[in-house]
Amino acid sequence: MNVIVAAGGTGGHINPALAIADRMVSALDVKVLFIGAPDGLEARLVKRAGYDFAPVRMAGIQRRISLKAIKKNVKAAYYYINAGRQVRKIFDSFKPDLVIGTGGYVTGTVLKCAIKAGIKTVIHESNSLPGVSVKMLCHKADLVMVGSADAVQHLKNCRKCVVTGNPLRSEIKLISKQEARQQLGLPDCMTILSVGGSQGAVHINNAVVQLLQWEQKIGGINHIHGYGKHGHDTFTKALSDSGVNMDDPHFRIKEYIDNMYVCMCAADLIITRAGAMTLTELTAVGRASLLIPYPYAAENHQYYNALTLKNANAGRIINDEELSGQKLIDEVNEFRHNPSLLELMGENAAKLFDGSAVDKILKEIIDVCGL
């Protein structure tokens, strides 16, 4: 069976696609071809994973109003007009039996072409608020799978909609907090992990500087922080100006965290943006969180992702415009005096995780294809 997978733009779209492809290859006799933008993150991640990749020039629509955004949208429209022809040529050559879309601007074009050609189509949506392409095509696709029940209410007239959870590409190796802290060389006390990600990290970095300053003053709190490539000069300078000692034995401050799962296991509290797959990892390790949705995410979908955890008392939301160093200090101080609350929120997060998601997805795909 030949399968085309369309995913692009962010790791939140690409990693679930890779997880699904891995599971299909391990269980079925399939040949997989990914379609995505040649200069997108998908090109690098897919090729690194060892899958064939067919590039199609596409670009997302800019939702901000500016001259620069208008120019980008004109270019995106031009790409869109030509993309359909390129996708049909790929179909003619590869002859797919199934097309899977997991989100990003590439998904809409590829799925539309597949539906028009009468090819079986499957969608997986990881966000609690489905994207525009998913909402437009859900009534035409053979199957729509979603990461959480919250997404279902936003999808109308689906042929078939199933809550499967979000698939992780590889199992997270869970270790105890004590073991993780030993690996990191940290004392065994309250531990915070904070990351800004690639989008909007500056605002989080600025708030974390004040939090670290306060933590250094009171002592007894470990803090791991990834400030990202854009904070290399500004963040370290801000720390120095604030008198924060980066060599404090309680601190691990890095540009890039390359042992993320160990750090997550070491933490009691995780401060992060609210991408769907990040939150899936939070539930996999079962940790309380302070979630700061990226305000410029399409249709503010990160807020809806965070709301799923908030409603389960597994996380708290701090809106980007409310974020400050003092806000973080107040939240952390509350948790510091109420460790049982942290533990409860972590337990609630763990209840949201479905470790069988990728197997559920495989079963649904097998049913759709009549295998």
Q: What is the DSSP string of 235-299?
A: HHHHHHHTT--TT-TTEEEESS-S-HHHHHHH-SEEEE---HHHHHHHHHHT-EEEE---TTSGG
| Residue entry with tokens 């294809």 | 369
Confidence of residue 77 (pLDDT cuts 50, 70, 90): low
Based on the fold, state whether residues 199 and 342 are members of the same structural domain: yes
Task: Give the whole-angstrom CA distance, residue 160 versus residue 172.
Answer: 30
Based on the fold, state whether residues 110 and 247 are members of the same structural domain: no
Q: Give the single-character DSSP code of 168.
A: P
179-207 burial, b if ≥16 CB within 10 A, otherwise e?
Answer: ebbeebebeeebbbbbbbbebbbebbbbb
Based on the fold, state whether residues 343 and 287 are members of the same structural domain: yes
pLDDT at residue 132, as a whole number: 83
Q: Provide, rounded to the nearest whole percent, the portion of the chain with pLDDT above 70.
A: 92
Q: Provide, rounded to the nearest whole percent, the portion of the chain with pLDDT above 90.
A: 72
Confidence of residue 221 (pLDDT cuts 50, 70, 90): very high
Based on the fold, state whether residues 163 and 227 are members of the same structural domain: no
DSSP string, 289-340: EEE---TTSGGGHHHHHHHHHHHTTSEEE--GGG--HHHHHHHHHHHHH-HH
Mean per-residue pLDDT for 337-359?
96
Q: CA geometry: angle at 277 spanning 276 and 282, to 5°?
A: 100
Confidence of residue 74 (pLDDT cuts 50, 70, 90): low
Mean per-residue pLDDT for 124-151?
92
Which structural domain, as residue segments, surrounds residue 23? 2-168+355-369
Based on the fold, state whether residues 196 and 345 are members of the same structural domain: yes
Average pLDDT for the chain: 91
Based on the fold, state whether residues 333 and 361 are members of the same structural domain: no
Is the model's pLDDT at 199 over the cut of 70? no
Based on the fold, state whether residues 6 and 53 are members of the same structural domain: yes
Based on the fold, state whether residues 286 and 323 are members of the same structural domain: yes
Q: What is the CATH number of the domain that holds 228?
A: 3.40.50.2000
Q: How many Å is the Cα radius of gyration of the chain?
A: 21
Based on the fold, state whether residues 359 and 305 are members of the same structural domain: no
Based on the fold, state whether residues 71 and 57 are members of the same structural domain: yes
Of residues 64 and 143, more confidently modeled: 143
Confidence of residue 10 (pLDDT cuts 50, 70, 90): confident
Confidence of residue 82 (pLDDT cuts 50, 70, 90): confident
Task: Give the whole-angstrom CA distance, residue 282 versus residue 6.
Answer: 26
Lowest mean pLDDT among 121-125, 194-198, 201-205, 210-214: 194-198
Mean per-residue pLDDT for 19-41?
94
223, β-bridge pairs: 192, 251
pLDDT at residue 234, as a whole number: 86
Measured CA to CA in angstroms, residue 333 lies from 146, 152, 189, 339 at distances of 36, 37, 14, 10
pLDDT at residue 258, as a whole number: 87
Of residues 70 and 113, more confidently modeled: 113
Based on the fold, state whether residues 134 and 37 are members of the same structural domain: yes
Whether residue 272 contacts residue 318, with contact meaning beta carbons closer than 8 Å, is answered with no
Close Cβ partners of 292 (under 8 Å, ≥ 6 residues apart): 204, 271, 272, 273, 274, 317, 318, 319, 320, 323
pLDDT at residue 149, as a whole number: 92
pTM of this structure: 0.85
255-278 burial, b if ≥16 CB within 10 A, otherwise e?
Answer: eebeebbbbbbbbbbbbbbbbbbb
Based on the fold, state whether residues 72 and 28 are members of the same structural domain: yes
pLDDT at residue 59, as a whole number: 59
Cβ atoms within 10 Å of 162's Cβ, excluding its own: 16
Q: Quote the number of domains for the chain.
A: 2
How is the chain split among helix, strand and coil, in percent rounded to 5?
50, 15, 35
Close Cβ partners of 202 (under 8 Å, ≥ 6 residues apart): 196, 230, 231, 234
Tens-digit pLDDT profile for residues 259-318: 999 999 999 999 999 999 999 999 999 999 999 999 888 788 999 999 999 999 999 999
Cβ atoms within 10 Å of 135's Cβ, excluding its own: 16
